[in-house]
Structure 1
Amino acid sequence: MTSTRELYAFLTFTAMMMVYHCKADFPPPPTGLTFKWLDPLAVNVSWQNPSGLQDGAVIYKIQLKGFEQTVKCLSKKYLINSSLIGSDHWTYQVWTVVGNCLSTNESKKVDITINSPKTQVKLKDTKCIIYTEGMNCSWKSTNKPFNLSYRTCEHLKPLRVCDRPYSSAERSGCYLKDNDVCILVETEAGWSTFKPRFVIHPPKLIIKEENDYLTLKWKHQSIGKCKWNFRVCYTRCNKSEICIQSEGPSKIPYDKDCLYEFRSRTETKSYCSNVTSDFSDVVKYGSNKPPDQTLMVVAIVVPIILSVCIILSCYCFRKHSSILCPIIPDPSAIFKEIMINGNKDHKTTGNLYTPVPEPIESCKVTAVAQNSDLEQIS
Structure 2
Amino acid sequence: MCRYWDISLVICFSLMFVGVENMPDQMPPPKNLMYTWRTPFTLYVKWEKPEDLDPTCTVNYTVTIFEGQFQHIIQTSNNFYSMNLSNKDGLNFSVTTNPGNCGNKQSSPPISFAIPPPPVMLVRNLNCIYYSKDKMMCTWDPDDDDAQDLDFYWLHGEESVKCSSYIHENMKIRGCNITSEDFKSKTDDMFYMAIGTYKNSTVINTFRMPGPYQSVRLNKPKFTIKRNGRNLLLQTTRSGFEHLDESCFSYNYTYVKCNETTSARVNTNIHSVEYDPICKYKARVKMEFEENCGAGVIEESDEVEYGEDRDPNLPVLLVFIFIAVFIFACLIGCFVLLRRHKDDLLPKIPDPSQFFKENISNIKTSYTAPSLYEPKEEPVESLSLEPQTQLLKDHMPRTLEYNV
Task: Report TM bin, short chain.
Answer: 0.5 to 0.7
TM-fit CA distance, 1:195: 2.6
Aligned 8 A contact 2:124 2:140 in 1: no
The aligned counterpart of 2:286 is 264
Alpha-carbon distance in 1 for matches of 2:222, 2:308: 24
Alpha-carbon distance in 2 for matches of 1:214, 1:117: 59
**Residue ranges of structure 1 left out of the alignment (5+ in a row):** 1-22, 293-378
Aligned 8 A contact 1:184 1:194 in 2: no
TM-fit CA distance, 1:215: 2.6
TM-fit CA distance, 1:97: 0.8
Change beyond 3 A, Cα 1:86–1:33: closer
Alpha-carbon distance in 2 for matches of 1:217, 1:224: 18
Alpha-carbon distance in 1 for matches of 2:105, 2:112: 19
Change beyond 3 A, Cα 1:31–1:162: same
The aligned counterpart of 1:32 is 32
Q: Does 1:217 align with 2:235?
A: yes
The aligned counterpart of 2:75 is 73
SS in 2 for 1:46: strand
In the comparison of the two structures, how many residue pairs are matched?
A: 261
SS in 1 for 2:124: coil
TM-fit CA distance, 1:81: 0.9
The aligned counterpart of 2:270 is 249
TM-fit CA distance, 1:107: 1.9
Q: Does 1:208 align with 2:226?
A: yes
TM-fit CA distance, 1:252: 4.8
2:249 to 224, 229, 235: 229
Aligned 8 A contact 2:250 2:266 in 1: yes
TM-fit CA distance, 1:67: 5.2
Q: CA RMSD in A?
A: 4.3
Q: What does the per-residue CA deviation read over 1:336-371, in whole Å, with 9 as the maximum and x for residues that have no partner?
A: xxxxxxxxxxxxxxxxxxxxxxxxxxxxxxxxxxxx
Q: Give % identity.
A: 15
Aligned 8 A contact 2:163 2:176 in 1: no
- Single out whichever of 254-263 and 113-122 deviates more from structure 2: 254-263
As a proportion of its length, which structure holds more strand?
2
- Which residues in structure 2 correspond to 1:19-58 (within 5 Å)? 25-53=25-53, 57-58=58-59
Change beyond 3 A, Cα 1:109–1:149: same
Alpha-carbon distance in 1 for matches of 2:162, 2:206: 15
Change beyond 3 A, Cα 1:79–1:219: same
Alpha-carbon distance in 2 for matches of 1:151, 1:108: 35
The aligned counterpart of 2:192 is 183
- Which residues in structure 2 correspond to 1:43-122 (within 5 Å)? 43-53=43-53, 57-65=58-66, 70-82=72-84, 84-85=85-86, 87-99=88-100, 105-120=106-121, 121-122=123-124
Alpha-carbon distance in 2 for matches of 1:71, 1:30: 17
The aligned counterpart of 1:315 is none
Q: What does the per-residue CA deviation read over 1:230-279, in whole Å, with 9 as the maximum and x for residues that have no partner?
A: 23353649998956242442235678756635242243562x5x365522
Change beyond 3 A, Cα 1:109–1:37: same
TM-fit CA distance, 1:73: 1.6
**Residue ranges of structure 2 left out of the alignment (5+ in a row):** 1-22, 313-404
Q: Does 1:279 align with 2:299?
A: yes
Aligned 8 A contact 2:92 2:112 in 1: yes
SS in 2 for 1:119: coil
Q: What does the per-residue CA deviation read over 1:197-245, in whole Å, with 9 as the maximum and x for residues that have no partner?
A: 5226344333334577643222233226674222335364999895624
Q: Does 1:193 align with 2:207?
A: yes
TM-fit CA distance, 1:28: 1.6
Change beyond 3 A, Cα 1:39–1:51: same
TM-fit CA distance, 1:122: 3.0
Q: What does the per-residue CA deviation read over 1:299-318, in whole Å, with 9 as the maximum and x for residues that have no partner?
A: xxxxxxxxxxxxxxxxxxxx
> What amino acid does structure 1 have at the position aligned with 2:34?
T
The aligned counterpart of 1:174 is 177
Alpha-carbon distance in 1 for matches of 2:31, 2:192: 33
Larger radius of gyration: 2
**Length-normalised TM-score, structure 2:** 0.51
Aligned 8 A contact 1:35 1:114 in 2: no
Change beyond 3 A, Cα 1:148–1:252: farther
Change beyond 3 A, Cα 1:251–1:142: farther
